[in-house]
Amino acid sequence: MAITPMDIYKYLPKTNCKKCGENTCMSFAFKLLSREKKLEDCTPLFEEKKYEEYRKKLEELLKPLEEATETGLVVKEELCVGCGNCVVVCPVHVAEDPQGAGIGKGPTIEDPILRVENGVVKIVNMGKCRRYGKERILCVACRDNCPSEAISFLEG
């Protein structure tokens, strides 16, 4: 299930107290999702007893964020059949490895983003993904061409 900023916002204090350094609770929700802020930055959640239940809900809600990679990519290896569609369609692979992954072979570069190992897809080097870093693009080519839904993103 994808998590939206609205899901997070529902359980925040909604007082816009600015203690976290953000102007509004809504923008804090966005930053939580992009993992630029941590739940601990919202001090009222931890200090005031009336928010305790909400805090617990949030902690549960944000659990998948810890399992996901830096770009929000989640791979469920148990669903993967190793077809390699994701490896071949990845625009970064095509640009950097035109004679390997670009023409359907296994990647010939040392540090591809994804590689099929022991029959299932593994994340090798997330740093190359177009979704990584400040100037990211929300590319979903790998997920769109995964027939077994083994690849998903946090934002859905």
Partner 1 sequence: MICPGCSCLCDDIEIMNGVVRNACRRGAEIFLKYKENRSKPIVNGKEVDVDKAIDKAVEILKSSKNPVVYGFDTTPVEVQKLAIDLAEKLNAYIDDTSSFCLGDLVELVLKKEVPTTTLDDVRNYAYVIVYWGANPYHSLSRHMSKYTYYPRGEKRQKGYEEDRFLVVVDVRKSETAMLAKTNARYIVVDNDLELIDSFFKVMEGKAAKYANEVSAVIRELRKSDFNVIFGGLGLKYGLRDLKPFVELVKKLNEISPTYFIPAGFHANMRGFNETLFEKTGFVNKYSFRDNTSKDSYAFVELLKNDTIDSALIVGTDPVKSLPFEIVSKLKKIKTIVVDPRNSLTAKIADVVIPSAISGIEQSGTMVRSDGVRVKLDVIEERDVNDYYVMKRILEGL
Contact footprint for partner 1 (CB under 8 A): 80-85, 87-89, 94, 98, 102-106, 115-120, 144-145, 147-148
Instruction: Rank residues 40 and 147 by Cβ distance to partner 1 and give the closer one.
Output: 147
**Per the structure block, which two tokens stand in for 143?**
């997920």
153 has which bridge partners?
73
Q: Which residue has the tokens 């027939």?
A: 147
Q: If DSSP codes are grouped into helix, strand and coil, which group holds residue 151?
A: strand
Q: How far is the CB of 151 from partner 1 (least distance, A)?
A: 13
Instruction: Rank residues 17 and 81 by Cβ distance to partner 1 and give the closer one.
Output: 81
Q: How far is the CB of 120 from partner 1 (least distance, A)?
A: 6
**Distance (Å, rounded) from C-alpha 104 to C-alpha 4?**
35
Q: How far is the CB of 75 from partner 1 (least distance, A)?
A: 14
Q: How far is the CB of 92 from partner 1 (least distance, A)?
A: 13
Instruction: Rank residues 118 and 135 by Cβ distance to partner 1 and give the closer one.
Output: 118
**Distance (Å, rounded) from C-alpha 33 to C-alpha 79?**
25
- DSSP character at residue 114: E
- Residue 82 CA neighbour count, 13 Å, CB half: 7
Instruction: Rank residues 39 and 80 by Cβ distance to partner 1 and give the closer one.
Output: 80
